[in-house]
């Protein structure tokens, strides 16, 4: 019989799993790690892993309520439409 994992154990995902879940290329995830604008990650030896709960929080933080092209703030410039 196997022992059950503790309830407070964090589940980590590989970059391949995150790429599949988010539809983001692994190379893009690597670039995001360098820039610091991607999901939080940890290194386990030479491997990169993403805490599942932190990935969910990061995805939630990307949600927008409106477009950056809000018509009420659009300024017309001479010669431009």
> DSSP for 18-37?
HHHHHT--HHHHHHHHHHT-
With tokens 């439409």, the residue in question is 81
Residue 72 falls inside a structural domain: no
Range of the domain at 34: 12-59
Residue 45 falls inside a structural domain: yes
Residue 23 falls inside a structural domain: yes
pTM over 0.75: no
Residue 78 falls inside a structural domain: no
CB-based contacts of 29, cutoff 8 Å, min separation 6: 15, 18, 19, 38, 39
pLDDT tens digits along 17-64? 999 999 999 999 999 999 999 999 999 999 999 999 999 999 999 887
Residue 46 falls inside a structural domain: yes
Judge whether residue 73 has pLDDT over 60. Answer: no
> DSSP letters along 58-80, please?
HHHHT--SS-S--GGG----TT-
């Amino acid at each position: 019989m196997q022992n059950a994992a503790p309830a407070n154990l964090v589940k980590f995902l590989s970059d391949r799993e995150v790429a599949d879940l988010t539809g983001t290329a692994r190379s893009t995830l690597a670039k995001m790690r360098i820039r610091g604008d991607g999901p939080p990650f940890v290194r386990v030896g030479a491997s990169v892993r993403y805490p599942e709960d932190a990935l969910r929080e990061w995805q939630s933080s990307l949600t927008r309520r409106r477009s950056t092209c809000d018509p009420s703030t659009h300024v017309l410039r001479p010669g431009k439409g």
